A and B are shown apart, each in its own frame.
Chain A
Amino acid sequence: MSNITTYDEEKLIEEQGFDDHFHDHHHGDKYQSNFVTTYIFSMDHKMIAKQFLITGIFWAFIGAAMSIIFRLQLGFPEENYAWLKPLLGKWITLNSSGVGSLAPEFYYALVTMHGTILVFFVLTAGLSGTFSNLLIPLQVGARDMASPLLNMLSYWFFFLAGVVMFSSLFVSTGPFSGGWTAYPPLSALPQASSGSGAGMTLWLISLVFFVVSVLLGGINYITTVLNLRTKGMTLWRMPLTIWAFLITAVIGLLSFPVLVSGFLLLIFDRSLGTSFYLSEIFIGGQALDYVGGSPVLYQHLFWFLGHPEVYIIILPAMGIVSEVLSVHARKPIFGYKAMVFSILAIAFLSFIVWAHHMFMSGVNPFISNFFVLFTLIIAVPSAVKVFNWIATLYGGNIRFNSAMLFAIGFVSMFISGGLTGIFLGNSTIDIQMHDTYFVVAHFHIVMGVAAFFGMFAGIYHWYPKMFGRFMNEKIGKLHFWGTLIGSYAVFWPMHYIGIAGVPRRYYQFDTFEAFSHFGAMNAFITIAAIVVFALQILFIVNFFYSIWKGKKMTNKNPYGATTLEWTTPIEATHGNWPGKIPTVHRWAYDYSKNDEGADYVSQIQPLKEGEEEH
């Protein structure tokens, strides 16, 4: 890291900056006056970001632990699980010789909770919530979010959603067990599944709270980006992280309400006896009164959110990765405008591809023609992004620290998982692949592991900004190598299982001759999953240990980055900049532009005479 020299940035901000008289109005920092307002009901975006992150880590741990339990069942179905009885209680059933096994209802509850938690609580709130909060004000040059109060409420609604979801794990009929997509009639009828009783009620309440949280956050992100950019920060000078967060928030704002409407009708069906989704059902020895509804309607409403949701998860990761790759390769991101346009294209297309989840659900096959077309068009902007990331590396001067490694790992995962999407998006192939392990492999790699890699890249990269210290690099690298190899070891073999036709969401495979060939492979996957899980514990330890004991940050711009967050003091208080707000004179990617001196030019540096903007 020899090329880093610091400009006299304070002087620059003092000379060029914009005086908004912020500090005249905030005597004594009313936002952070005592313990409660600083750490709990904080309205400071940086603290809220940390709250989202730490809550996300908590949920990631719970969700991953669940996956380990159901992976044990899949990998070693014959084992004695009586030792889990202290934890799971009645969900471990003992036979006459004292051999314990996991109850199928609870297996399905674990699968359902794993999906719900990871998709919503970890990869939406934990990822987008953390980094949108942390980076939007810092990178656009704002004192805070447009509405710090809504921002605080956004976190606390998320927290409330978490409390409700967590409590659903302890109801006597068990948590909801009908899959994270919650298709009725299974999710609507307590007779159909014990988890569809109180567990489902809590699940629905929790997710409605969650959507409130997402909407409060989203409104704030959009308003802040559009209205609170500092002088000179035009849209085309914004870092790609901000573009990604902005578009993510727009997608969320347009799609989450549709989910709520879908849930509302489901609540009506469950509680008020309406028949939006239910028709001609005979269950539990009894013909029910519902006539005229359609379960397929729910699927349309659900996937109208559900598909954009995967982009809500992956776009922030893409933004983070673009930024991290550029900073540590010491190069401008390749094709900045193409990157922005591909984000916009992906966002637009994400709204007209939802029925590709429903090729085999009984919708008119003719309709599928359009959804195949639009779905496979998404491959084009996605490919452009991948090529641009790779081109960004070309001719760089790369530092392979943990953040950079995870960013590179993200690209590898996104390629591997994205390509299998081309199989599934083609309805012909989907006839065979739908609801098999091929789908499990595809979406875990492309939006599970890849999004996690993006998140890790972001955490390692901006950790100093959050806590004023660095995470341990040695453990970080160990974490990277283990997670990279381990994740592929878990999910790659699932492609083969899926191609062979094995359906997902099976409690065991030996009921069918056709699905019983992969015992050894399933055992291997389980072992790999345990190893990956152990490595994540190492990450968590590193994370918390470094908060207090990590290497201290001595330079406020340790990476030599151009963006505004690195012009704030190491211990940034509320308002981010102690004096004036910096003004912006160039785009965010002037790395290695000059042959002499520092290999980056901060956004706050005015253009030199005769210098052209990129």
Chain B
Amino acid sequence: MTSLIILFCVALLVVVTIQVSKISELASKIRGGEDRYLKENDRTAKGLVVFMVGFLVLTIVSAYYYKNYMLGYGPHESASEHGGSIDFMFNITLIATGIVFVITQVALFWLAYVAREKKGRRALYISHDNKLEMIWTAAPAVVMTFLVVSGLIAWNDIMADVKEGEDYIEIEATGYQFGWEVRYPGPDGLLGKKDFRLISATNSLGQDWSDPKNHDDMKVDEIVLPVGKKVRVRITSKDVLHNFYLPHFRVKMDAVPGMPTYFVFTPSKTTAEYRESLRNYAEYQVPADADDPTGEQLWESFNYELACAELCGSGHYSMRRLVRIVSESEYEDWLSQQTSFYESTIKEEAGDDALEEDITEDADDTMDSE
């Protein structure tokens, strides 16, 4: 019933608009064409200028209002070392495009207003101006060169893989519909081989138990990493494309079935430090749970999050994992409490000692095992 009434109202509105505009068009015809037309034309031209002013004011004011969500202005400073250069690139691009934006929008609407039709006026016959055109071809080219060069320097720096002999932690994140499995390499620092054909109810990643590097690998619920230490995340997928996305760390990389990808980054702020920095902002000084006004505030309950950023099916929006950045010693503590999946689950079931070998023997094998 309600929808019928709404439909009726819409239809009525349409009829009214048509009738009114028809009448006003008839009326303007009666009241004499040209003067009226020019007046109307003037009004529309003024409207464009009013729009331009309102539009520019609103864009600038709203940008200022939301500055706390902009990269590098408010609480959302990058929590990784490379993130700063992304935020820097964002900001110089923002300045460059911001200036062009204001100038061109003003020129567009203002010149249109100035050149509105007037009685007896004739437009200028200007077909081109080579000098002017050279200038406005060269100017964007220069700006672009600057942005390309500085962007690419940052890009190659950020995307560089770890070098040989470098000290880093390698972990593995595997996307599936709909969640993430995270694997740590254990004391040997190396991730064991896996094969999708070995995946079963007891072996969700398809780890190959004949590879001794697998024996100390640990599966964890929460990604815990030490601050200031380089991390190489190996990103894989079991089924469809996913994307390993850590918004606070400016990390994003597709998880591709059949082709491991990686992203190297260094966390620069512990979870505790990040919470402290959020504390200064009003929008984080509210209860985390609206039903519990005396409980934890938003900044206190803050956690780094891992999300999926590549459409992967109906549960795409729910692939959440928590990330915790801690000090080196806390990390060591946490690590020592984790047990290898093989030790805790597989070994007893299999009861096969033959699988056990000295895990350090194959340690010279490099990081990739697929």
CB distance from B266 to the nearest CB of A (A): 15
Contact of B256 with A512 in the complex, beta carbons under 8 Å:
no
Q: Does B187 contact A (CB under 8 A)?
A: no
Find A429's partner among B55, B129, B151, B259 (CB 8 Å cutoff). B151
The answer on a CB contact under 8 Å between A338 and B197 is: no
| A496 vs B63: C-alpha distance when bound (angstroms) | 8
Q: Which of A105, A281, A388, A501 contacts B238 (CB 8 A)?
A: A281
8 A Cβ contacts from B134-156 to A: 136-137, 139-141, 144, 147-148, 151-152, 154-156
Say whether A503 contacts B62, CB under 8 Å. no
Contact A499 B69 (CB under 8 A): yes
Shortest Cβ distance from residue B203 to the other chain A in the assembled complex, whole angstroms: 11
Cβ contact within 8 Å between B108 and A393: yes
Mark out the residues of chain B between 242 and 262 whose CB falls within 8 Å of any chain A CB in the assembled complex: 243, 245, 247-248, 250-254, 256-259, 261
Nearest residue (CB) in B for A426 is B151
Q: Is the CB of A472 within 8 A of B22?
A: yes
Residues of B within 8 A of A512 (CB): 305, 307, 320
Whether a CB of chain B sits under 8 angstroms from the CB of A377 is yes
Q: Give the interface segment out of B120-128, B210-218, B340-348, B351-359.
A: B120-128
In the bound complex, do residue A384 and residue B137 qualify as a contact, i.e. CB atoms below 8 Å apart?
yes
Q: Which stretch from A139-147, A347-355, A586-594 is at the chain B interface?
A: A586-594
Report Cα–Cα, A64/B298, bound state, in Å: 37
Closest-by-CB residue of B relative to A434 is B252
Does B276 sit at the interface, judged by CB under 8 A?
Answer: no
Known: A380-B137, A426-B147. A280 touches B257 (CB 8 A): yes
Q: Please state if A400 and B144 are interface contacts (CB–CB under 8 Å).
A: no
State which residues 164-189 of B face A: CB under 8 Å: 177
CB < 8 Å neighbour of B314 from A193, A332, A368, A434: A193
Write out the residue numbers on chain A whose beta carbons fall within 8 Å of the beta carbon of B76: 500-501
The answer to whether B41 touches A336 (Cβ under 8 A) is no
Check: B132 CB closer than 8 A to any chain A CB: yes
B256–A361 contact, CB under 8 A? yes
- List residues 313-342 of chain B with CB under 8 A from any CB of chain A: 313-318, 320
Q: Which of A127-135, A148-156, A179-187, A204-212 contacts B (4 or more CB under 8 A)?
A: A179-187
Task: Please tell me if the beta carbons of B154 and A514 are within 8 angstroms of each other in the complex.
Answer: no
User: Does A273 sit at the interface, judged by CB under 8 A?
Assistant: no
Whether A426 lies near B93 (C-beta < 8 A) is yes
B136: chain A residues within 8 A (beta carbon): 383-384, 387
**How many whole Å from B48's CB to the nearest CB in chain A?**
7
Q: Which residues of B contact A416 (CB under 8 A)?
A: 101, 105
**B303 CB-CB contact with A under 8 Å:** yes
Bound form: Cα–Cα A360–B250 in Å:
12
Q: Does A177 contact B (CB under 8 A)?
A: yes
For residues 60 through 116 of chain B, which have their beta carbon under 8 Å from a beta carbon of chain A? 62-63, 66, 69-71, 76, 83, 85-86, 89-90, 93-94, 96-97, 100-101, 104-105, 107-109, 111-112, 115-116
* Cα separation A571 to B49 with both chains bound (whole Å): 39
Instruction: Please state if A396 and B17 are interface contacts (CB–CB under 8 Å).
Output: no
Please tell me if the beta carbons of A517 and B197 are within 8 angstroms of each other in the complex: no
- Among the stretches A160-168, A481-489, A602-610, the one at the interface with B is A481-489
Return A185 CB to nearest CB of chain B, in Å: 5
Task: Tell me how far the C-beta of A297 lies from the nearest C-beta in chain B, rounded to whole angstroms.
Answer: 10
Report yes or no: B240 in contact with A496, Cβ–Cβ below 8 A.
no
Which A residue's beta carbon lies closest to that of B48? Answer: A408
Would you call B307 and A541 a contact (CB within 8 A)?
no
For the complex, is A508 an interface residue (Cβ under 8 Å from B)? yes
* Complex Cα gap A419–B309 (Å): 23
**Does B208 interact with chain A (Cβ within 8 Å)?**
no
Q: Looking across the interface, which residue of chain A has its beta carbon closest to that of B45?
A: A400
CB distance from B301 to the nearest CB of A (A): 8
Query: Would you call B117 and A338 a contact (CB within 8 A)?
Result: no
Surface stretch bound by B, among A220-228, A262-270, A287-295: A287-295
When chains A and B are docked, how far (Å) is the Cα of A47 from the Cα of B37? 33
In the complex, chain B residues 3-33 whose Cβ is within 8 Å of any chain A Cβ: 3, 10, 14, 17-18, 20-22, 24-25
Q: A477-B44, A512-B305 are in contact. Are A432 and B112 (CB under 8 A)?
A: no
CA distance A284 to B94 in the complex (A): 45
Closest to B308 in A: A503
Bound Cα distance A395, B124 (Å): 5
Q: Is A534 an interface residue (CB 8 A)?
A: yes
Q: Closest Cβ of chain A: how far from B156's Cβ, in Å? A: 7
- Asked if residues B124 and A283 are in contact (CB atoms below 8 Å), the reply is no
Range class of the B interface residue count = 35 or more
A198 adjacent to chain B (CB < 8 Å): no
* Contact flag A185-B240 (CB < 8 Å), given A397-B117, A419-B97: yes
- The answer to whether the Cβ of A372 comes within 8 Å of any Cβ in the partner chain is yes
Interchain CB contact under 8 A, A185 and B112:
no
Distance A517 CA – B312 CA, assembled complex (angstroms): 24
Contact B144 A380 (CB under 8 A): yes
Docked complex Cα distance between A384 and B134 (Å):
9
How many residues on A have C-beta within 8 angstroms of the other chain's C-beta atoms?
Answer: 131
Chain A residues whose CB sits within 8 angstroms of the CB of B252 once the complex forms: 360, 431-432, 434-435
- The answer on a CB contact under 8 Å between A506 and B317 is yes
- In this assembly, does B302 line the interface, its C-beta being within 8 Å of a C-beta of chain A? yes
User: Counting CB contacts under 8 A, is B294 at the interface?
Assistant: no
A506-B316 in contact (CB<8A): yes
Chain A residue numbers with a CB within 8 Å of B94 are 423
Residue contact B127 to A614, C-beta cutoff 8 Å: yes
**Could you say which residues of chain A place their CB within 8 Å of the CB of B25?**
472-474, 551
- Cβ of A311 under 8 Å from chain B: no
Contact indicator B253/A599 (Cβ below 8 Å) = no
B259 contacts A362, C-beta separation under 8 Å? yes
CB pair B125–A592 under 8 Å, yes or no, is: yes
Q: Which residues of A contact B20 (CB under 8 A)?
A: 474
Query: Chain B residues with Cβ under 8 A from A399's Cβ?
Result: 41, 117
Whether B34 pairs with A428 at a CB distance below 8 angstroms is no
Are A282 and B239 in touch, CB under 8 angstroms?
yes
A193 CA to B239 CA in the complex, in Å?
11
- Which residue of the partner chain B has the closest CB to A496? B66
User: How distant is B35 from chain A, measured CB to nearest CB, in Å?
Assistant: 11
Q: Tell yes or no: A386 within 8 A of B by CB.
A: yes
Q: Which residues from A are CB-within-8-Å of B132? A: 391
Asked if B311 and A397 sit within 8 Å, CB to CB, the answer is no
* Least CB distance, A370 to chain B, in whole angstroms: 10
- Cβ–Cβ contact B97 & A422, under 8 A: yes
- How far is B318's CA from A506's CA once the two chains are assembled, in angstroms? 8
Partner of A183, one of B196, B241, B318: B241
Q: Is B162 in contact with chain A by the CB < 8 A criterion?
A: no
With known contacts A280-B258, A360-B243, A362-B254, A426–B140 Cβ distance under 8 A: no
Q: A185-B257, A394-B124 are in contact. List 4 more A-B contacts (CB 8 A).
A: A296-B256, A334-B127, A396-B123, A474-B21
* Listed A/B pairs (21) with beta-carbon separation below 8 Å: A183-B311, A184-B240, A186-B240, A281-B196, A282-B239, A295-B241, A331-B125, A335-B128, A393-B111, A400-B116, A427-B155, A432-B247, A435-B243, A435-B309, A501-B76, A505-B316, A512-B307, A537-B10, A538-B14, A542-B18, A591-B125
**Residues of chain B at the chain A interface (Cβ within 8 Å):** 2-3, 10, 14, 17-18, 20-22, 24-25, 34, 37, 41, 44-45, 47-48, 51, 55, 59, 62-63, 66, 69-71, 76, 83, 85-86, 89-90, 93-94, 96-97, 100-101, 104-105, 107-109, 111-112, 115-119, 121-129, 132-133, 136-137, 139-141, 144, 147-148, 151-152, 154-156, 158-159, 177, 196-197, 199, 206, 238-241, 243, 245, 247-248, 250-254, 256-259, 261, 283, 298, 301-303, 305, 307-318, 320
